[in-house]
Structures are given as structure tokens and as C-alpha cells.
Amino acid sequence: MKIEATVKQIRALLQLAELNEGADKLSLEAYRRGHEAVQRGLPRLLLERYQSLVAAGRTPAVVAIERGACSGCHVRLPTLLEHQAGRSLAVYTCPHCRRMVYAPELIRDGSHLEEAKSSPRAAPASAGRRS
């Protein structure tokens, strides 16, 4: 399963995961405020998927793809999923543990992807060339 997402939305999911991990260190009010603030920036589909994973005990619910494997269950991902995740700004589902996985290199280098998504596509440089 693939859910399109922006860098900002994936980072918001990661913030939710951090809040859930550190919930015991925060006051109930601080946790609730942080949780609500982060949730406001997420589309319903992403938020529902995240909440269903947390309810099922899959924490962290959002994990990076590391060396071709899900960093949640450490099982190698199918090659096609790994390649798709590395080329598309989205969260995918690990077929083994069902966690949301993403390509961390797209998050680090995501600023140019965000710009490309929002601007019209430029014609390829080779389009006007003739051999």
C-alpha cells in the first residue's frame, strides 16, 4: 500500500512517533497539545493509518528503510517496493510487520522534491535536440 505524502507530512508522522515514545516523560497536557498540533497538519488517510498501527501495538508505527530492510522488523523488503520508495515521496506498508516505511534519503533531500511537485514540469533538456 502506498500513500502519497509530502516531506512535511512524513516529518509530522515521525514527530507523532517521537511524542508517543516519550509520552511518559511529558505531562498529560503537554502530550495532548503536541499531539493535536502535529495531527492538524496530517491528511485523514495518513492519520488513520498511523493510529491503527499504534492501536495494534506496532510502535514505532513509522520507520525508515535501512539497507533494503524495514527498520521496524528488520526483514528485507521486496526489491520492487524498495525501488518505488526510493523514487516516490510516499509512505509504503512493510509486507511483514505492516508498519509505514519511507525512504530517509528523500526526507533529507526532500526540499527539491517539494519544489518539483509544486512547480510545472519542465521539458527535458534533450527534447529539442536532434542528432
DSSP state of 77: P
Q: Is 124 domain-assigned?
A: no
Q: What confidence score (pLDDT) does residue 74 get? A: 97
Number of domains composing the chain:
1
65 belongs to a structural domain: yes
Per-residue confidence (pLDDT) for residue 83, from 0 to 100 = 94
| 129 is a domain residue | no
Residue 30 is predicted with a pLDDT of 81
Domain encompassing residue 29: 2-118
Which pLDDT tens digits describe the chain residue by residue (131 residues)? 888 988 999 999 999 998 888 777 878 888 788 888 888 889 999 999 999 999 999 999 999 999 999 999 999 999 999 999 999 999 999 999 999 999 999 988 644 444 444 444 344 444 444 43
The DSSP bridge pattern shows strands 2-4 and 100-102 to be unpaired
> Does any domain span residue 87?
yes
Instruction: Please name which of 101, 109, 92 lies closest in space to residue 17, comparing C-alpha atoms.
Output: 101
pLDDT number for residue 125: 43
Residues in the chain: 131
Task: Say if 29 falls within a structural domain.
Answer: yes
d(CA 30, CA 36): 10
Model pLDDT, residue 108: 82
**Residue 125, domain member (yes or no):** no
Torsion, Cα of 23, 20, 9, 75 (10° steps): 150
